[in-house]
């Protein structure tokens, strides 16, 4: 059959990202997708799944969106690709830049386009360091990021990532990137007597000296680290800390941006304006490869005074087709009230998770912001006791969900960690959300039988 032909070709010719190569070569691929519409995906064996994490938290408009296909067709038929190097421009790229400026908070009004999130974060690091060079600093180049932060896999983004498997992969390194402990609000506000002060962002700044630190990068809500909400006051505290020491704040909005959390951007929940904002994923709902770094006006103005070539850019910076898709994507998000829908459906999801938490004693720490949600599985939440490492709780539950036609994602990269993430497309309706909760309920019941 076609499926078995593709399977054997895949095992021989394709190296998969974030996949166990040995297991893939022996048993893969797990699913060969053949199509999709809305929140649903189909595979070559005739199965249908609910896409419970919007693939990689990016397919916000769901699958099979003909309007995005049309936008792409129209632009490709006219001019698929044109460079933005050497001062060249084209309409969709300029229009999307203006549209995004109208949506971002404060004076985040200028964008540098990339093809994805890692490139956006690397670009933010380089532009931050470049800005400080232009201001006369010679050593202000260190980037501080957080444990459990995820910022991508290019060499700099990988080092900013606070998940050891990614951070250390292949021994690549960038000596100018430090990891701080995550979410220590009091320390960042200046409480040096806090027992965890050592390793906080503030402690690193004080140890290194502010003239060596270019920027701090945080996700408004940590995603791939296991969906961790910042405690109330945290992002404001970090913004204040960065102001105090004249350090840039980079908000990595790659997951949160464009409505995922029930507001247009994650930082909008906490009313802060970062100096740089990295975006990707939801900017096109995954229909084209696009990312960008948005910067505040004082940064743009300083760079704009530089009278030589800005020696940075990707062939696909400002790709016209990707930008045309991005424009149409944002138009649909606004027209169909999808930010509001994320908010409403998020409330339904939260209610469902509360119900499951009451029903299953091992399900705990349910957390939801719009359509970005997670929960923990623990042996005994009241005693704060995790499952034994031999119990692959999150993976087992996710497998039960998969058997019942729901694709969600487990996180267990630290001993005792069993986190499950849910982040369906923003177009989801109430019945579909109930179906997700129903499948989770059945899967949890099956999982509890196996304990």
Q: What are the residues binding ligand PLP (CB under 6 A)?
A: 56, 116-118, 121, 150-152, 219, 223-224, 252, 254-255, 280
Shorter beta-carbon distance to ligand PLP: residue 152 or 292: 152
CA distance 288 to 69: 10
Longest CA–CA separation in the chain, Å: 68
* Least distance (Å) between residue 289 CB and ligand PLP: 8
CA distance 379 to 388: 8
* Least distance (Å) between residue 253 CB and ligand PLP: 8
* Least distance (Å) between residue 171 CB and ligand PLP: 20
Of residues 270, 184, 172, the one with CA closest to residue 221? 270
Shorter beta-carbon distance to ligand PLP: residue 140 or 260: 260
| Nearest residue to ligand PLP on Cβ basis | 117
* Least distance (Å) between residue 119 CB and ligand PLP: 6
CA distance 251 to 320: 25
Shorter beta-carbon distance to ligand PLP: residue 186 or 253: 253
* Least distance (Å) between residue 177 CB and ligand PLP: 14
* Least distance (Å) between residue 309 CB and ligand PLP: 25
- Alpha carbon dihedral 397, 403, 409, 414, in 10-degree steps, equals 40
- 10 Å CB burial of residue 45 (0-12, 13-18, 19+) is exposed
Shorter beta-carbon distance to ligand PLP: residue 254 or 371: 254
Neighbouring-strand partners of residue 63: 38
* Least distance (Å) between residue 178 CB and ligand PLP: 18
Shorter beta-carbon distance to ligand PLP: residue 156 or 339: 156
261: CB partners within 8 A, 6+ apart: 220, 221, 269, 342, 346, 369, 370, 371, 372
CA distance 250 to 261: 18
Strands 48-51 and 406-407, how do they pair?
Answer: parallel
CB 344 within 8 A of CB 337: no
């Amino acid at each position: 059959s076609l499926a078995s032909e593709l399977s054997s070709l895949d095992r021989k010719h394709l190296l998969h990202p974030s996949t166990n190569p040995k297991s893939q070569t022996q048993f893969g691929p797990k699913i060969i997708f053949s199509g999709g519409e809305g929140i649903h995906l189909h595979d070559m064996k005739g199965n249908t799944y609910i896409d419970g994490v919007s693939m990689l938290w990016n397919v916000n408009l769901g699958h099979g969106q003909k309007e995005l296909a049309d936008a792409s067709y129209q632009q490709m038929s006219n001019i698929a690709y044109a460079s933005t190097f050497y001062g060249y421009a084209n309409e969709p790229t300029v229009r999307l830049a203006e549209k995004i400026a109208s949506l971002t908070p404060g004076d985040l009004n200028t964008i540098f386009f990339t093809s994805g999130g890692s490139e956006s974060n690397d670009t933010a690091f380089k532009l931050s360091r470049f800005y400080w060079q232009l201001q006369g600093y010679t050593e202000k180049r260190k980037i501080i990021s957080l444990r459990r932060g995820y910022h991508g896999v290019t060499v700099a983004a990988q080092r900013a990532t606070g998940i050891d498997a990614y951070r250390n992969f292949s021994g690549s390194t960038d000596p100018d990137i430090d990891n701080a402990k995550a979410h220590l609000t009091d320390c960042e506000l200046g409480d040096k007597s806090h027992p965890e002060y050592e390793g906080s962002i503030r402690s690193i700044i004080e140890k290194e000296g502010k003239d060596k630190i270019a920027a701090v990068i945080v996700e408004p809500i940590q995603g791939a680290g296991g969906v961790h909400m910042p405690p109330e006051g945290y992002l404001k505290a970090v913004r204040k800390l960065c102001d105090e020491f004249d350090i840039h704040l980079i908000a990595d909005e790659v997951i949160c941006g464009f409505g995922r959390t029930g507001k247009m951007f994650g930082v909008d929940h906490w009313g802060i304006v970062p100096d740089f904002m990295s975006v990707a994923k939801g900017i096109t709902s995954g229909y084209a490869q696009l990312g960008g770094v948005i910067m505040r006006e004082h940064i743009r103005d300083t760079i704009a005074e530089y009278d030589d070539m800005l020696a940075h850019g990707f062939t696909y910076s400002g790709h016209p087709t990707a930008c045309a898709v991005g424009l149409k994507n944002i138009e649909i998000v606004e027209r169909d009230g999808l930010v509001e829908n994320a908010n409403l459906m998020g409330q339904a999801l939260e209610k469902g998770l509360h119900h499951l938490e009451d029903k299953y004693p091992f399900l705990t720490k349910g957390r939801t912001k719009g359509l970005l949600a997670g929960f923990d599985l623990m042996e005994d939440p009241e005693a704060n006791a995790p499952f034994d490492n031999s119990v692959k709780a999150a993976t087992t539950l996710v497998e039960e969900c998969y058997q019942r036609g729901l694709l969600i994602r487990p996180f267990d990269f630290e001993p005792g960690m069993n986190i499950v993430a849910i982040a369906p497309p923003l177009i989801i309706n109430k019945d579909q959300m109930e179906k997700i909760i129903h499948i989770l309920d059945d899967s949890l019941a099956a999982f509890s039988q196996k304990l």
